[in-house]
Amino acid sequence: MWKIDSGIKLKSFRAEKSETWGSFQFSSCSKYLARGCLNSITIYELPTLKIALDSYNNKLILEHPNLKKFSWIPNTINILATCYDYVI
């Protein structure tokens, strides 16, 4: 991730084998970036790109086994929808 007006590199991410470009989603309020991996979604604050904290000061890393897709729901107060493989 780069800050365009200054050309400063803010953060780099190491890709997992299962990642594609759709693994990153910006919230509709432009305050957060979500990164989906195989078993979790990590929420970062913008513009610092530090992992966001919940109301209990825990890092916002949402465990989600077999995650396939996720998306912010437009015009809401930061709600994510997810899709995953159901494994029996």
Query: Can you give the residue range of the structural domain that contains 78?
Result: 22-84
The 10s digit of each residue's pLDDT in 5-29 is: 898 888 887 766 655 555 888 888 8
- On the question of pLDDT at 2 being above 60, the answer is yes
Dihedral angle of Cα 39, 45, 51, 56, to the nearest 10 degrees? -100
Whole-angstrom CA distances from 67 to 10, 53, 72, 75, 81 are 26, 21, 15, 23, 11
Does 14 reside within a domain?
no
Does 7 reside within a domain?
no
Question: Distance from CA of residue 64 to its chain's centroid?
Answer: 12
pTM, two decimal places: 0.75
Instruction: Please give the tally of structural domains in the chain.
Output: 1
Residue 88 to residue 4: CA distance in whole angstroms = 45
Percent of the chain with pLDDT over 90: 18
How confident is the model at residue 19, as a pLDDT?
56
Mean pLDDT, rounded, of the chain: 81
Does 10 reside within a domain?
no
